[in-house]
Amino acid sequence: MAKPKAPRQTLDSYTVKRINKTIKAGDCVLMRPPEPSKPSYVAKIEKIEADSRGANVKVHIRWYYRPEESIGGRRQFHGSKELFLSDHYDVQSADTIEGKCTVHSFKSYTKLDAVGNEDYFCRFDYSSTTGAFNPDRVAVYCKCEMPYNPDDLMVQCESCTDWFHPACIEMTAEEAKKLDHFFCESCSSEDQKLQSSQSTSKFAETKVDTKRRRR
Binding site for Zn ion (CB under 5 A): 142, 144, 157, 159-160, 165, 168, 184, 187
65/76 Cα distance (integer angstroms): 16
Smallest separation, CB 168 to Zn ion (Å): 3
62/43 Cα distance (integer angstroms): 6
Smallest separation, CB 147 to Zn ion (Å): 11
Smallest separation, CB 77 to Zn ion (Å): 10
Select 98 or 191, whichever has its Cβ closest to Zn ion: 191
Select 123 or 165, whichever has its Cβ closest to Zn ion: 165
Element (H, E) at 196: helix 185-197
The CA-based angle 58-64-69, given to 5 degrees, is: 120
Select 91 or 160, whichever has its Cβ closest to Zn ion: 160
Is 72:131 a contact under the CB 8 Å cutoff? yes
Is 208:179 a contact under the CB 8 Å cutoff? yes
92 Cα distance to chain centroid: 24
Q: What's phi and psi for 177, nearest 5 deg?
A: -65, -30
129 Cα distance to chain centroid: 21
22/94 Cα distance (integer angstroms): 11
Smallest separation, CB 185 to Zn ion (Å): 8
Select 71 or 144, whichever has its Cβ closest to Zn ion: 144
Select 12 or 145, whichever has its Cβ closest to Zn ion: 145
Smallest separation, CB 150 to Zn ion (Å): 14
